[in-house]
Structure 1
Amino acid sequence: MTTLPVHARPAAPAADPVDIAARRIDPSTLTVVRARHPWRWLSAAAALIVVAQFVNGLATNSGWDWATFAKYFTAPVVLQAMWLTIQLTIYGTVLGFALGVAIAAARLSKNPVLQTIAWTYVWAFRSIPLIVQLLFWFNIAYLYDTLSIGVPFGPALATFDVNSTISGMTAAVIGLGLHQAAYSAEIVRAGILSVDHGQVEAAAALGIPRRRQFFRIVLPQAMRGILPNAANEVISLFKGTSIVSTMAIAELFYQVQVIYGRNGRVVPLLMVATVWYILMTTALSIVQYYVERHYAKGAVRTMPLTPLQKARAHLADWSARARRQSAEHTR
């Protein structure tokens, strides 16, 4: 009797697909094996250990001086400084984006003069550091004692004293707003350019007015590209207001410096400023999330659940599961 080598043996007849399809498999008899993710658990454990060590250091290290932190966190002078920081952020954002939209429109126009002026503005204000711009506006009275409005190279209709007109707060708002406008213009321009030009052509072919084309077709789609970067700029501006402390404006960081310069409690006072910055940045991030969600309605068929909606859904599932278990126990 001869034995054929393995490679020479005839292959087993393949199973007939018809027979396989004809088999009826009961899904309840199948064994479901849960996927294992050991590296996830290891990384989570390592992260928890690091967080636990950090929290332990916060609780046990006396250098943090949480009593001083609690004393000054809601002190009236700190709250006033925080409100001034918020005001600087609001004024700088409104001025920056209002001027930025105009500059973006000028850069997108077909007028070469407007394009050149807008490009020069963006180039100049992005090239000069913010602190230099702020100090320049703060010391503008060294160059001009008065400001006049009237006929160019002719008589003045109105004259203003610079020292009384441009205060420290006004100089800070002007500097922050003009600096922000250069970056806002590029963000808005990029968002508008991201919209397919074919949609504008189709709208024009349908006879839709240009104003309605922009506000009904271009802008809602451009906002999806503008909002993330715009929100980052607003948050950066909020934190960047601390730079006006060089102008002796009593915003949050400056006021904290004044306090720890008197009592020597540097670390707890810095934590006061840090926590306030974190809280306000978190609030701005929440606003950004819901605004982006609003403008995403036309891009996705089903909107994802918000964190609050997810929590409610999990709570409803847990309640339904608990009711089913209690009903089974009572049978």
Structure 2
Amino acid sequence: MTKAIEQLKSGLTVGYAALGFHGGVAGSVKQQVHDGDTINVRTIGNFGVRFLGVDAPEISFTLPGENRFTGLSNNRWEEFLANPFGDDLSLSTGLLSYLQEKVGPGAAMNHHNHAEAAEDALEQELFKDLSVLGKSEEDFQFFLVFAHEIMDRYGRLLCFINRHQPDPSAPESRPATYNERLLKAGKVIPYFIWPNINPFRKQKSIVEAVIPLGKANDIANKEETLRSARQWLRDAREQKIGIFDVANPLRLLPFEVRFLAQRHPPNRWVIDLGKDDNILIKPQEYYTIPNVEDRLFIPEEYVPLFVEKGWQRQE
């Protein structure tokens, strides 16, 4: 089935809809036209949902110059990630050196294995919830919580997602979101992108969500969900589970695989949640923050907001 919203090869994002429902059936033009600039519609097709706050290893992605997704288990990925550098990808000397230690023989299969583990873990959580709620796959429902940005450029909904359980205590206590469950299990990586995580997503305006100077670490330690997410990752690292498996730790982060394949260096600036300073770290210097749970990524279009509030771009 066609996706309700998708990005075409041209880069244009499009959607498909029909006249909305009225009384359980498709409504008429008269029923669904609200006024001269508003019409009620229902979607045709499925929505993709991208989990906020986390990043899972890629099960498949587009190889350079291609539009079709190819599984990371494919030998072409093994060939590419053996040496993914070239004149068509401008990387700083430091980032190049950092990545050279992570690529090479086996990098693609390493990523594929961790991607399969994350996929399996999510499927098991869903099957568990089906059983607990006594639902079939046909009538099982999700509950979605959105942040500042509702949708990405690919037409995927951006949210925190859980099973739909109206009563928080029945048939049992409502569990954490799938985003959080996989993070606890060490199957995914924290991927904190401002302003789509707590406490920033709760602010009344994007301007109010800008972090006050010298308060990044203080906020990260005080806000419960952000503090917990960072601690879960530390626990997984200490226990050597999931992406930190002692025998086969994840070598390349998912967004590293993506920017290497897309031939575009990273473009989000970064704040170190482990410090209370006022420095916006250059996109290609993200790796200088050693722990992934301390990286708060700032989309480049929002950087002027931070500079206006006194934050300084790294020289």
State the TM-score, normalized to the length of structure 2.
0.22
State the TM-score, normalized to the length of structure 1.
0.21
* Higher normalized contact order (CA 8 Å, seq sep 6+, divided by chain length): 1
- Per residue, is there more strand in 1 or in 2? 2
- Per residue, is there more helix in 1 or in 2? 1
Larger radius of gyration: 1
